[in-house]
């Protein structure tokens, strides 16, 4: 995938440097010459071998056509996990998305990340031995995805208010539900999140999935109230793409894929809707992109459908047609877009959602050539017969 090319480029760069080539110093804009000093210096030869080993492409998990369910922090406790393993093995499902850093900013395992220990964000781990749990899931043939919530982090905002989104008067901003968010322009937070992702990779997860990798919605009101720490004057979507690029570089020699969740309307909207998510910018930075195409969350008359909640097939069909079209356009430009792996709805919101509603969403995906999906239910309660 795209990060493999990053490794190759890095390796070629080191090889060129060792041969005395002239290399552009991107930080200064000046040209510097590297002299070959390896021939008669065993110590330097060892150093260069270590560099090459460091950037050597690592073996990624076998690519899978993932069909997964979300497991909240309680669902993968020892007294619950057996039921989900049985569900997966008795259906077409083959993967789980597990909370690692949740919507409250709390970790579900005992972490060694410095900032996590400083603020005690791992104070209530779900499992004592995450590595052992992941090994068990893999023995069952289950692909494991670590869900890492990024900028919706009320706990970090409380413990480190300098990172929080703030009003002009310096007070911490909260959304309509009273939740504090992290200012996405703070690069110290990028590192904190990436450190957690790296740790999840070492624990044994196959994939890192970033959620809430965006600014809060209701953007017009937010922008009037918040003074962002945007010293580089970056547009919101440029900043989100920069975070994903930065994190991918840090994860380059970890054996994981990287994915991100985006609003369902991102497949269609031409702008970033004020939340910093633009399809083209995000799709180029990750391996998998997961639009949250929940029909119940679309506004009346979306795609000309008066009541989207009653038409899950049509909503999914329209959204995926746009997603495929935009990925195709990227490929025509020589880009490497992310594989489309949408979220589908298996929860009641405006009305009870049925087995037929779920299967109609899957049907719409398959008709667009999309063979992967994730299933969302915040309570991790799923309609088993829908996935046979």
SS3 345: strand
How confident is the model at residue 60, as a pLDDT? 87
pLDDT given at position 123: 97
Contact (CB, 8 A) for 166 and 186: no
pTM for this entry: 0.86
310 Rama class: left (phi>0) / alpha (psi -120 to 50) / beta: alpha
Q: Angle at CA 327, nearest 5°, toward 210 and 291?
A: 35
Distance of alpha carbon 12 from alpha carbon 14, whole angstroms: 5
* Partners of 95 in the β-ladder: 68, 143
**pLDDT recorded at residue 24:** 32
Per-residue pLDDT of the chain (388 residues; tens, 9 = 90+): 554 444 444 433 333 334 333 333 333 333 333 323 333 344 445 555 554 444 566 888 888 999 999 999 999 999 999 999 999 999 999 999 999 999 999 999 999 999 999 999 999 999 999 999 999 999 999 999 999 999 999 999 999 999 999 999 999 999 999 999 999 999 999 999 999 999 999 999 999 999 999 999 999 999 999 999 999 999 999 999 999 999 999 999 999 999 999 999 999 999 999 999 999 999 999 999 999 999 999 999 999 999 999 999 999 999 999 999 999 999 999 999 999 999 999 999 999 999 999 999 999 999 999 999 999 999 999 998 999 8
Phi, psi of 153 (to 5 degrees): -145, 80
How far is 368 from 356, CA to CA, in rounded Å? 19
> Which residues, 6+ apart, have CB-to-CB distance to 242 below 8 Å?
234
CA distance 99 to 120: 17
If you count them, how many residues does the chain have? 388
The angle subtended at Cα 186 by Cα 184 and Cα 189, nearest 5°, is 90
CB 58 within 8 A of CB 254: yes
Please tell me the distance from the alpha carbon of residue 342 to that of residue 284, in angstroms, as a whole number. 16
What is the pLDDT at residue 37?
A: 30
Residues 247, 209: Cα–Cα separation, whole Å: 12
Look up residue 387 and give its two tokens: 């996935």
Residues near 164 by Cβ (< 8 Å), separated by ≥ 6? Answer: 156, 157, 158, 172, 173, 180, 181, 182, 183
Q: What's 49-74 look like in SS3?
A: HHHHHHCCCCCCCCCCCCEEEEECCC
Q: Whole-angstrom Cα distance, residue 234 to residue 231?
A: 8
Tally of CA atoms within 13 A in the half-sphere of 24 that contains its CB: 2
Where helices occur in 259-311 by DSSP H, the ranges are: 279-283
Q: Would you call 378 helix, strand, or coil by DSSP?
A: coil
**CA 259 centroid distance within chain:** 4
- Rounded distance, CA 43 to CA 55, Å? 19
Domains defined for the chain, CATH in brackets: 1-57 (no CATH), 66-387 (3.20.20.80)
Beta bridge partners of 149: 211
Position 62 scores a pLDDT of 85
Structure-token pair, residue 287: 């391996």
How large is the angle between the packed helices 236-250 and 187-203, nearest 10 degrees?
40
How far out from the chain centre does Cα 192 lie? 15
């Amino acid at each position: 995938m795209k990060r493999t090319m990053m490794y190759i480029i890095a390796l070629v760069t080191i090889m060129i440097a060792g041969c005395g080539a002239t290399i552009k110093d991107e930080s200064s804009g000046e040209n510097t010459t590297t002299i070959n000093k390896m021939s008669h210096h065993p110590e330097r030869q060892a150093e260069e071998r270590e560099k090459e080993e460091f950037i050597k492409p690592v073996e990624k998990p076998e690519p899978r056509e993932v069909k997964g369910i979300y497991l909240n922090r309680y669902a993968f406790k020892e007294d619950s996990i057996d039921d989900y393993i049985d569900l997966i093995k008795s259906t077409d499902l083959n993967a789980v998305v597990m909370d690692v850093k949740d919507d409250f900013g709390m970790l579900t395992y005992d972490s060694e990340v410095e900032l996590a220990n400083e603020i005690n964000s791992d104070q209530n781990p779900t499992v004592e031995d995450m590595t052992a749990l992941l090994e068990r899931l893999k023995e069952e043939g289950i692909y494991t995805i670590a869900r890492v919530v990024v900028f919706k982090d009320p706990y970090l905002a409380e413990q480190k208010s300098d990172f929080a989104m703030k009003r002009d008067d310096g007070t911490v901003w909260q959304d309509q539900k009273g939740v504090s968010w992290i200012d996405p322009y703070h690069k110290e937070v990028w590192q904190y999140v990436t450190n957690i992702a790296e740790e999840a990779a070492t624990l044994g997860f196959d994939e890192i999935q970033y959620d809430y990798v965006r600014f809060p919605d209701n953007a017009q009101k937010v922008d009037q109230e918040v003074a962002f720490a945007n010293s580089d004057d970056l547009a919101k979507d440029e900043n989100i793409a920069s975070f994903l690029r930065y994190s991918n570089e840090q994860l380059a020699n970890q054996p994981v894929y990287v994915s991100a969740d985006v609003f369902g309307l991102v497949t269609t909207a031409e702008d970033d809707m004020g939340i910093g998510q633009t399809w083209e910018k995000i799709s180029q930075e990750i391996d998998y992109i997961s639009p949250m195409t929940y029909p119940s969350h679309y506004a009346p008359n979306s795609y000309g459908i008066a009541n989207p909640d009653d038409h899950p097939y049509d909503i999914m069909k329209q959204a995926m047609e746009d997603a495929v079209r935009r990925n195709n356009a990227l490929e025509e430009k020589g880009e490497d877009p992310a594989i489309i792996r949408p979220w589908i709805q298996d929860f009641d919101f405006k009305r009870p959602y049925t087995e037929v509603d779920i299967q109609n969403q899957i049907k719409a995906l398959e008709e667009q050539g999309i063979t992967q999906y994730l299933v969302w239910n915040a309570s991790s309660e799923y309609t088993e017969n829908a996935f046979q």
